[in-house]
Structure 1
Amino acid sequence: MIAQDVSIQQALTTAKAYRARDSSKASVAIASNYLISASCIVIVQWASGTSHLSAAGSRALYLLSTVIIASRMRALENLVHEASHHNLFPSAHLHRRLQFLYAFPIFRVLEDYRRSHLVHHKHLGDPQKDPDAVRLYNLGLDRLPERPVWYLLGVPMTGYLTYEYMTTTFREFWESPSSRLSKSVFWVVVMLAVGCTATLQYFAYYYMIPFLVILPVMRYWAEASEHLGLDLRRDFGSSRTNIGFLHTWCINPHNDGYHAVHHLCSQIPFHLLPEAHQHLMKASNEFAKKTAISYGMLETFKQIATKKTIFRKSNRTEQPSIAVSLTQHT
């Protein structure tokens, strides 16, 4: 135990060297998501107005655009996660003041998310206290190896994840007293702009469908990939590193896939996580040996489908001590 504590301390000391925030990188990250989404809309609208594509081609291009736009919404969710650790800007106050750029558009309130997410870090793997573990149990994902096809592919296709989102995070966004005025003003302005420009149809095509249909599936897979199939009682190896192409660009944007490093030291900002990971892989034998790494979605699915998740506690006779909602997720 003493050797393990020393190893953890050495790895943590190494990780703490990568805690520098950078406002310019954070600003570019936020802006890039809007730029990519806007580019998708322009391309699809331009293509649909020409004779270069068949009807089937136009539908395929639109479907691709919704996936890309949903991935940028997922990216904004990851930036909310970064902001909850004050990892975007050097000034902690800026995170709350600028949340209309990255949190309100996806129905998140930073202070609510931060409050519950820090509980996840403090009680990782405890099905009574960790909100993420509570939800994994409620979804039945602790039994994923028994029915992997159903849990990985069947559940996302049922539409239940959209229903769950609407009855938890979306509802709580409006019911929460946090930032009540600013979030209301934001969405009033957005809907007035949509109404005044007669773009409700485009709002539905390019916002509502990606947000309500595709994003819940991406979020579900991302959350499942972080800790399932691992021993959550361990200091090392309780969080998976997902760094494949689809992870990087769709499921875990903005380096959110470097989850092992993040749980070791949550103060490392997103733009330094890859460098910190590479350094730790060389500097810490325990980290390199015990960190689960996946380089693709299929590899992740295989890992979580073939290994049972070991939670910190197994007694589920009591009711969870905290409320469950999507607001609490990474």
Structure 2
Amino acid sequence: MTTAETPERAGRPAAERPPTETKILFARARVTRRDQTVFLGKLLLAAALTALGCSLALREGLWASAAGVVLLAAVYTHMVELQHQCLHHSAFTSPRPHRPVGVALGLPLLVSYTHYRVRHLQHHKHLGTPQDSEFFGFDTRAPLTWGMLLRGAFDYGRLLTVAREVARSWRGTWAYDAGEISERRRREVVAEYRWMVLPVLAAAGLAVAGYGGQVLELWLLPLLVAAPMHFFLELPEHILCDTETTDVLRNTRTIKGSWFSTWYTNGNNLHVEHHAAMTVAINRLRERHEEVSRLAVHVERSYPVFYWSVLREAARNSRPGRRARPAGDAA
């Protein structure tokens, strides 16, 4: 379900709308101590859920162990969303903690903080243009089909890409392939990929020492399960939106969601609000949702409503004899 809006509003980029229409949405705001406290609370909860997942995964019995693996996969996915807030320096009142905390949050799923940050900030800058390129690289402009969904959900080739980046970093041949990058950022990316050998070597050492089962249950299996979780969490952001415009009110989707989905995605459901003011603390985006509901084209009531529209579009594009249309052209 999308919001209804007048043709006049729908046809104008955000920059051309009357200031009164977007005053709240595009307003900047500094990170406060309260925002920082909220984020620290999220970190503590993630740590507690990780401990619970480890406890369940190591129990005897298939169902308890499986529940622990799934919980760990869900928490590791959630941690990448917390890392996303660190990318924008909107978690702490000082910029300094963002990188060390962000690096730690991305480690379970082998996501380099600085590499992700550089690519993601470029995504914000170039959204709606041919230069747009996200770090997690399924193409939201490609036709939405069952094949696209399956390839995106089970993209384990990303792990091979990470291994290649690690090897290049250790050889000293790593180079940025998506535009320009400062020498300082390049050194940070190389350092982070080099650090990734530490958990891999630790896991290998534990396996040799006879703890291979624990390594499998606490990391490798959750890593595999997290891949489709993360894909479907990221999918709503721009798919089936207008990819030929730079107007954030047309090229991005917001999902009102529940308190649970807002917490689990760390506010990723409020994506129009985030793109309109990317340095605003995530916990304060809800204040802007009423304005987005009035002005944005793609506003969904819930995640089930969105996923149902995805399934319908994939089914339509996958019918024999039907020519698949670009996702950005979908109604």
Q: 2:220 — aligned with what?
A: 208
What SS does the corresponding residue of 2:299 show, helix, strand or coil?
A: strand
- 2:241 aligned to which of 222, 230, 233: 230
- 1:24 aligned to which of 21, 28, 37: 37
Q: Percent identity?
A: 18
Matched, 1:6 2:19: yes
Matched, 1:162 2:156: yes
Please state how far the C-alpha of 1:227 moved relative to its aligned partner.
0.5
Residue-by-residue CA offset, 1:67-95 (whole Å, 9 max, x unaligned): 22111111111122111110111111211
What SS does the corresponding residue of 2:97 show, helix, strand or coil?
A: helix
How many residues in Structure 1 have an aligned counterpart in Structure 2?
282
Distance of 1:30 and 1:191 partners within structure 2 = 26
Amino acid at match of 2:281: P
Residue-by-residue CA offset, 1:177-225 (whole Å, 9 max, x unaligned): 42655664575378448846753321211211111x2111122222321
5 Å matches for 1:132-171? 132=134, 135-137=137-139, 142-144=142-144, 147=145, 149-152=146-149, 154-155=150-151, 159=154, 161-163=155-157, 165-171=158-164
Matched, 1:65 2:68: yes
| Unmatched tracts of structure 2, length 5 or more | 1-11, 170-186, 314-324
Aligned partners of 1:33 and 1:72 also within 8 Å? yes
Aligned partners of 1:143 and 1:308 also within 8 Å? yes
Please state how far the C-alpha of 1:123 moved relative to its aligned partner.
0.8
Please state how far the C-alpha of 1:294 moved relative to its aligned partner.
3.1
**Structure 1 residues 60 and 194 mapped into 2: Cα distance closer, same or farther (>3 Å)?**
same
Give the TM-score taking structure 2 as reference length.
0.71
Residue-by-residue CA offset, 1:274-318 (whole Å, 9 max, x unaligned): 3332xxx1xx3x65242523344432123345395338xxxxxxx
Give the TM-score taking structure 1 as reference length.
0.71
**Structure 1 residues 41 and 136 mapped into 2: Cα distance closer, same or farther (>3 Å)?**
closer
Please give the root-mean-square deviation of Cα atoms over the aligned residues, in Å: 3.4
- 1:129 aligned to which of 105, 128, 131: 131
Q: 1:78 — aligned with what?
A: 81
Please state how far the C-alpha of 1:98 moved relative to its aligned partner.
3.2
Aligned partners of 1:124 and 1:133 also within 8 Å? no
Q: 2:188 — aligned with what?
A: 178
Aligned partners of 1:247 and 1:296 also within 8 Å? no
- 1:268 aligned to which of 280, 291, 295: 280
Matched, 1:217 2:213: no
Q: Which structure's residues are more often helix, by fraction?
A: 1
Aligned partners of 1:86 and 1:95 also within 8 Å? yes
